[in-house]
Amino acid sequence: MSSPALSYKSSSSSLQSSTSVLTAPDKLAPAVTGPRVWQGDELDPKKYVVELNNREVQDIRAAVIKVKIAGTPRSEISPETFNLSNANLSTKLASLSQEIHHGTGVVVLRGLHTAKFNDEEAVIAFAGVCAHICPERATDSYANQTLSHVRDATKDEVPTWAKDIGLAGSKITVAMDFHSDRFSGDVLALHVRNDGGAGAGGDQQVVSFSRIYNELLETDPEVLETMAEPDWPFELKKKDSDPYLELGPTLFFSRNSEPMCQLVKAPLLGTPLLPRAPNMPALTPRQHHALHAVETLAKRFATTLDRHPGDIQFLNNLSILHARGAYRGRHGAPSERHLLRMFLRDPEWAWEKPEVWRAHFDDPFVQGRVQQLPVVDTDPWRLISGRESHG
């Protein structure tokens, strides 16, 4: 295998939106203030869970039926084609974006379980509701995938051509450390079709990166300096050739100095099912220390996300790290746990990205890319794993 080639996108230029070069410690952004900074039980389900009443659920069901009758392709679902006759509901949904972007960064919409949607209707409802909150959907340029299925594929029959590909974190049952999904989209949306049942595991944890940032700024700013250095060696996948190396930071800053974390471990360390190419450079001791420091504080400040079947969870993928506990099926059968996943952006409330890295953040939202919103997960190896093999 040849030596890894640097991506043309790699750069050691400014991490900020302005032209100034961000170095540390004197150039690190000041401590974050406001509702983005929370820890543990300070994130109260009574505040972040938004209930849909019966009338609102029926209005969403009616919008789903109208999409089906009109024959509207799922890729063309928008606020206009997913027509909510209740203007108050549309306003209610749109208002959630501000909380996601400038509040705690966590919102859970609850009540759709009562609609008893079939698989096709659930995808339509998920896409339609999300369109009223964050109107832009991300499409992975590697897989051309807009909606993916988070499920247990470990017992699926592996086709011959997929023997050496392995499964991404979204398709296996092991626990996942705290991470954000790098360059995937501003907002992570998850629709809980099946939580796997009581006692099956798979609990979801969330933590405010702003809280972690403030702690590190006070106790170990060198970790933040290390995260902001554009020399993290990410291994990115190609479909029909060797993976390639892309250098970049794991910490960015918006024009308004919001720290944005884009830290996922699989392309930095590899996984048992997706091992890292042996010719890829190893992390430095400082980088390993930074990973350990962030994970330790994340466990200290995290809380378990309140989850019910039918929920749609919205997490700010720039300011919230998420993790997952291991889960299992019953009596040796595959787990029934099943979530639908999309990444979103709301141009009205979106944080302004650093100029030199803006193309990376914008890439999932390139106009004209074909969107795939599959009702059934038929290919858990190639198309859905993604370029960076994240969960």
Q: Which domains does the chain have, with CATH numbers?
A: 40-156+165-327+334-385 (3.60.130.10)
Q: What pLDDT score does 251 carry?
A: 98
What is the mean pLDDT of the segment spanning 275-296? Answer: 96
| Residue recorded with tokens 């599959």 | 374
Residues 6+ apart with CB under 8 A from 176: 169, 323, 324, 391
Q: How far apart are CA 263 and CA 5, in angstroms?
A: 22
Q: What pLDDT score does 360 carry?
A: 95
pLDDT digits (tens, 9 = 90+) for 15-24: 443 433 343 3
Bridge-based pairing of strands 49-51 and 106-110 is parallel
Q: Is the pLDDT of residue 273 over 50?
A: yes
Q: What pLDDT score does 2 carry?
A: 46
Q: What pLDDT score does 24 carry?
A: 37
Q: What pLDDT score does 238 carry?
A: 73
pLDDT digits (tens, 9 = 90+) for 127-139: 999 999 999 999 9
What pTM was estimated for this model as a whole?
Answer: 0.92
Q: Is the pLDDT of residue 165 over 80?
A: no
Amino acid letter at 255?
A: R
Q: What pLDDT score does 385 carry?
A: 55
Q: Tell me if 187 sits within 8 A of 100, measured CB to CB.
A: yes
SS3 letters across the chain: CCCCCECCCCCCCCCCCCCCCCCCCCCCCCCCCCCCCCCHHHCCHHHHEEECCHHHHHHHHHHHHHHHHHCCCHHHCCCCCCCCCCHHHHHHHHHHHHHHHHCCCEEEEECHHHHCCCHHHHHHHHHHHHHHHCCEECCECCCCECCEEEECCCCCCCCHHHCCCCCCHHHCCCCEEEECCCCCCCEEEEEEEECCCCCCECCEEEEEHHHHHHHHHHHCHHHHHHHHCCCEEEEECCCCCCCEEEEECCEEECCCCCEEECCCCHHHHCCCCCCCCCCCCCCCHHHHHHHHHHHHHHHHHCEECCCCCCCEEEEECCCEEEEECCECCCCCCCCCCEEEEEEEECCCCCCCCCHHHHHHHHHHHCCCCCCCCCCCCCCCCHHHHCCCCCC
Q: What pLDDT score does 387 carry?
A: 56
What is the mean pLDDT of the segment spanning 74-103? Answer: 97
pLDDT digits (tens, 9 = 90+) for 31-63: 999 999 999 999 999 999 999 999 999 999 999
Q: What pLDDT score does 131 carry?
A: 98
pLDDT digits (tens, 9 = 90+) for 212-231: 999 999 999 999 999 999 99
Which residues face 236 on adjacent strands?
A: 244
Classify each residue of 223-236 as buried b or exposed e, where b means 16 or more C-beta atoms within 10 Å of its C-beta: bbbbbbbbebbbbb
How far, CA to CA in Å, does 388 sit from each of 147, 174, 250, 378?
Answer: 16, 18, 14, 20
Mean pLDDT across the chain: 89
Give me the percent of the chain exceeding a pLDDT of 90: 75
Q: Is the pLDDT of residue 261 over 60?
A: yes
Q: What pLDDT score does 37 carry?
A: 98
Q: Is the pLDDT of residue 76 over 60?
A: yes
Residues 6+ apart with CB under 8 A from 187: 100, 101, 134, 314, 315, 316, 317, 343, 344, 345, 346
* 14 vs 126, more confident: 126
pLDDT digits (tens, 9 = 90+) for 342-372: 999 999 999 999 999 999 999 999 999 999 9
pLDDT digits (tens, 9 = 90+) for 287-322: 999 999 999 999 999 999 999 999 999 999 999 999
Q: Tell me if 54 sits within 8 A of 114, measured CB to CB.
A: yes
Q: What pLDDT score does 378 carry?
A: 77
Give me the percent of the chain exceeding a pLDDT of 70: 90
Categorize the per-residue pLDDT at 140 as very low, low, confident or very high, splitting at 50, 70 and 90. confident
Q: Is the pLDDT of residue 280 over 50?
A: yes
Q: What pLDDT score does 252 carry?
A: 97
Q: What pLDDT score does 26 carry?
A: 44
* 74 vs 170, more confident: 74
Q: Is the pLDDT of residue 14 over 50?
A: no
Q: Where does residue 238 rank: exposed (0-12), middle (13-18), buried (19+ CB within 10 A)? A: exposed
Q: What pLDDT score does 235 carry?
A: 92
> Can you say how many angstroms the Cα of residue 309 is from the centroid of all Cα atoms in its chain?
19
Q: What pLDDT score does 383 carry?
A: 53
Q: What pLDDT score does 122 carry?
A: 98
